Amino acid sequence: MAEKHDIGKKGEELARQYLIRKGYIILHMNWHWGHYELDIVARNDEELVVVEVKSRSGDFLTEPEEAVNRAKINRLVAAANTYVRYFKWDLPVRFDIITLIKTGELYKIEHLEDAFYAPVRRRR
């Protein structure tokens, strides 16, 4: 279990470095509010970007982005909504996924911009 945690932490740090190289401004890493958590919150131009980071070792069975299911998306959207209200941001929010696959000592990084959209809730 410790190795999985180490791969996740290293993946988040590599994702942070990747985003900085691409010109993003990192606002928060591992932001928590109650039971909500956002891996990375960044600003890119005039957008607030919420980034979910998924890391796997080379012997994974499913693609890392497949772990971002409907329930996870709902939690991320709720957390992002709380973040925007708490910090009083008035920018559009984009949801990205960064996947990292570790093979040996190397990580392959893939950045999925606009990976999903916030689901629309119907009023009853």
CA distances to 1, 37, 95 from 66, in Å: 20, 19, 15
CB-count burial class (<10 Å; 0-12, 13-18, 19+) for 112: middle
Q: What is the pTM of this model?
A: 0.89
b (16+ CB within 10 A) / e for 16-38: bebbeeeebebbebebeeeeeeb
- Give the model confidence (pLDDT) of 42-89 as tens digits: 999 999 999 999 988 876 666 778 788 999 999 999 999 999 999 999
